[in-house]
Amino acid sequence: MNRPSLIHLAVIAVVCASGARPAAAQNTAAELVSREPGAFQRTFTWVGDKLQDGSGEAKDGLYPQFGGTIPGAGWLSAGPGYRHHLFGDAAVVNVSAAMSSRRYSMVQSRIEWPALFSNHLSIGAAARYQDFTQINYFGVGPDSDKSAQTDYRLKSLDIAGSATVHTTDRLSFGGRIGYLRGLEITPGLSSIHPPTHDLFDDTTAPGLTVQPRYAHADVFVEADTRDKPGYPASGGVYRLGLTTFHDLDASGQSFRRVEGDATHYVPLFRRNHVVAVRGHVALSQTGAGNAVPFYLMPTLGGGNTLHGYNDYRFRDRNAASVGAEYRFPVVRMMDAALFADAGSVAPTARGLWQERPQHDYGFGLRFHTNTKSVARIDVAKGREGTRVSLSLAMLLGGSSRNVLPYVP
């Protein structure tokens, strides 16, 4: 029997999920949306505003910071933030901090000029310290063993500047350059799983004992045609990027990565049924005598890719995944969703299409305002069992695009 390809599995997911909903149920959903918002909905909308960009409306003063960490940090990350506009509102300074339910923490400060030259140019600079206390590691390759689960702690300080050119309302391109220092990998704080240092070494976890300083840079081009970026029903976002990490300490850990990501949304019926399809690929390249450190290898697993597997379950130099989701309204501010995912990792780009993909399927609930995602609950079944997850303000195809560790 031929092995199923990633594309085949994505198509099957869309076809299986696109069944019609009775007209009566559609009318009920429309009536619910048309009612005047009550106190609960107003509160829910306020929470959605805060979760969407970590700050809500761009007003000066204190605000609650939500998010700012990575998948695996726990169901909630929160802390204080402060914003102040400068130079006649041309620039804005932000300082914020957050801690998660699993003791992940971050502190960041940034200054941005978001709308220069009639909104065609955005520039900024930022400094970010992070301490992630128990990140999963299972080993490298598609055949890594679930029973080998360990965890490591990652600390780092990144100082970076960025610029984005908005050629139109839908198309932009830009880049970022930064200096990464204070990078430290130590045993994780989990009381359930052993530290990565106990089961792996530099051969099976490249970069485990030596962490260099990095100069890093990336460039990208992105098209965004979504009708509502916070909770889209049509359009899509398509991104192509190139990232380089230069090892400043000559420890043999310089590399490049090409990454493509595309998510498209198709409305059905009265635009309250939506099919979303995502494809993602990340390819790494090194020169002679260099390796990609394990914490910067592309990964699969968790709410962004393979829902039915642990966060960062699979990793290697190259990774590819596809996912499809069909969501439909249940009650006001809550949708149900059927989804399926498939993906593979490999040491070479060609190996991605030769490996048997990991796959899963499941059911979830999506909590949202009229324009923004607030939270999601997923129950997914893969080859390694059933996984239940809860996350805040995450969409299909969402990614923090943080410098490290790699988040799919």
Tokens of 4: 């199923």
- Cβ neighbors of 298 (< 8 A, separation 6 or more) are 257, 282, 284, 315, 316, 317, 318, 319, 345, 406, 408
What pLDDT score was predicted for residue 15?
38
Beta-bridge partner residues of 86: 91
CATH architecture of the domain covering 6-392: Beta Barrel (2.40)
pLDDT at 396: 62
CB 207 within 8 A of CB 154: no
- At 43 the pLDDT is 57
Q: What is the pLDDT of residue 53?
A: 44
Contact 382, 360 (CB under 8 A): yes
pLDDT at position 49 is: 58
* pLDDT score, position 42: 57
**pLDDT tens, per residue, the chain with 408 residues:** 444 444 344 434 433 433 433 333 334 333 433 445 555 555 555 555 555 444 445 689 999 988 888 989 988 889 999 999 999 899 999 999 999 989 999 999 999 999 999 999 999 999 999 999 999 999 999 999 999 999 999 999 999 999 999 999 899 999 999 999 999 999 999 999 999 999 999 999 999 999 999 999 999 999 999 999 889 999 999 999 999 999 999 999 999 999 999 999 999 988 889 999 999 999 999 999 999 999 999 999 998 899 999 999 999 999 999 999 999 999 989 999 999 999 999 999 999 988 889 999 999 999 998 888 888 999 999 999 999 998 876 666 544 467 899 998
pTM score above 0.95: no
Residue 233 token pair? 């029903």
Predicted local confidence at residue 23, as pLDDT: 39
Reference 142, options 380, 313, 378; nearest CA is 313
List the one residue out of 266, 242, 253 whose CA is nearest residue 212.
Answer: 253
Residue spans of the domains in the chain: they are 6-392
Identify the three-state secondary structure at position 296: helix
DSSP string, 1-50: -PPPPHHHHHHHHHHHH-----HHHHHHHHHHHHSPP-HHHHHHHHHHHH
